[in-house]
Amino acid sequence: MMNNKPDLASLFGATKSDTFLGLDPCNNLDSIDASSAFVGVPCATPYRSVGPYAKNGPSSIRNAIASLNANLDRHNFDLGGPIFPQGSIKAVDCGDIAWDEKNFQENRSIISETVKKILKNNVIPILVGGDDSIPIPMLEAMSSKGRDFTILQIDAHIDWREIHMEERYGLSSTMRRASEMSHIKKIIQVGARGIGSGHPQDFEDAKNWGVKFYLADDVHSNGLDPILENIDQNSSVIICIDIDSMDPSITPNTIGRVPGGLTYFQVLNLIKGVAQKAKIEAMDFAEIMPEVDIDGIGGLTVSRLIASSMGVIARQKQRADS
Ligand SMILES: [Mn+2]
């Protein structure tokens, strides 16, 4: 086997840790002192025919970045400083949410209750899945904030099926369910391309609801400015990232690969752009399936993107508190 690689973790001085980036664990959801909270969500509402195929997503992301666990103080060139700059508040890792292979309603209520508790502490939840059904209960929980939200969905697929395989809360219906929530006032969807589960009528329904679409091809041709112009100043934004939005060459660790995807910097600069003119109130990263990753490339991309997002949110909080 040509698998004997030098151990980069020991090269960087990493110590063993069970948390993302070696961050402090959060053991009490009622009292969290953090800017954001990593929450592993292995499963919500999988289709019965395929089951919870992304259940190992959260642990794979913790492992993927473990080599940097001793490097939190280093300069991150994607952020212009350490992930958590001096005077900012770090993120925590809340571990994985308990789940059941059969009781999907229970899965959804545990996710929703967990998100509500995190929000009560004024901490930004970052859910790491799990398949793309995990945002539905998160989006429902956002109503506890008592204000209106914009969703920025970044995904190769539009997820507007009314029902699929007799399931209304599955990963092909996430944005349709979001559109039915009274606190969701605006939906912007970025990255659609190729062939997915959506039918022409689903796309029509989404446009009739008022969704603004920026297809992957639009992003490659026109850049990010047209999207960010559509984010209202000082609005409250939930960012829902299906990792298949990115190109399969950088995120092969997903079941719904489609050619022509977004780059790491296109997604990161969208996240930064939102934080600059509005407020990120919650995020999720879904469809992470380490079993189909190629030499850890997908884990690398997604874990670094989550780490950078934590840095963006820490800076957002620092600005708001000063
Ligand atoms: Mn999706």
Delineate the domains of the chain, giving CATH numbers in brackets: 32-321 (3.40.800.10)
Cα–Cα distance, 126 to 118 (Å, whole number): 10
Those residues whose C-beta lies under 8 Å from the C-beta of residue 132, and which sit 6 or more positions away, are 155, 159, 171, 174, 242, 286, 287
> What confidence score (pLDDT) does residue 1 get?
43
Residue-level pLDDT at 203: 97
Among 116, 113, 92, 98, residue whose Cα is nearest residue 32:
92
Average pLDDT (294-316) is 98
From the CA of 170, how far away is ligand 1's center (Å)?
10
Task: Kindly state the DSSP code that residue 82 receives in the 8-state scheme.
Answer: -
225 alpha carbon – ligand 1 mean position (Å): 23
pLDDT at 269 over 50: yes
Task: Measure 64 CA to ligand 1 centroid, in angstroms.
Answer: 22
pLDDT per position as a tens digit, 31-84: 999 999 999 999 999 999 999 999 999 999 999 999 998 889 999 999 999 999
> If you measure from the C-alpha of residue 171 to the centroid of ligand 1, how many angstroms do you get, rounded to a whole number?
6
- Amino acid letter, 81: G
* Residue 120 CB coordination number (10 Å): 14
Distance 155 CA to ligand 1 centre (A): 5
Q: How far is the CA of 172 from the centre of ligand 1 (A)?
A: 6
Confidence check: pLDDT of 15 > 70: no
Length of the chain equals 322
Closest among 110, 105, 91, 141 to 41, alpha carbons compared: 110
Asked if the model's pLDDT at residue 16 lies above 80, the reply is no
Query: Radius of gyration of the chain from Cα atoms?
Result: 18
- Picking from 293, 310, 249, the residue whose alpha carbon sits closest to that of residue 56 is 293
CA distances from 193 to 4, 152, 215, 219 (A): 38, 16, 6, 11
Question: Is the separation of the CB atoms in 52 and 276 below 8 Å?
Answer: no
Q: How far is the CA of 196 from the centre of ligand 1 (A)?
A: 9
What is the 138 CA–ligand 1 centroid distance (Å)?
A: 15
Instruction: Please report which confidence band the pLDDT of residue 14 belongs to, taking 50, 70 and 90 as the band edges.
Output: low
pLDDT for res 197: 79
**How far does the centroid of ligand 1 lie from the alpha carbon of residue 180, in Å?**
17
In the reported structure, the alpha carbon of residue 124 is separated from the centroid of ligand 1 by a whole-number distance in angstroms of 21
Q: Calculate the average pLDDT of the chain.
A: 95
Q: Please say whether the beta carbons of 281 and 237 come within 8 A.
A: yes
Instruction: Tell me the CA distances in angstroms from 314 to 69, 187, 201, one per residue in order.
Output: 18, 25, 40
Any idea which residue has 């001793």 for tokens? 70
- Amino acid in position 266: Q
Q: Is the pLDDT of residue 6 over 70?
A: no
Find the 242 Cα to ligand 1 centroid distance in Å: 5
pLDDT of residue 126: 98
**Contact by Cβ (8 Å): 148, 185:** yes
Using a cut of 0.75, tell me whether the model's pTM lies above it.
yes
Quick one: pLDDT at residue 78? 97
Answer left, alpha or beta for residue 273, where phi above 0 means left and psi between -120 and 50 means alpha: alpha
Give the confidence band of 253 by pLDDT, cuts at 50, 70, 90. very high
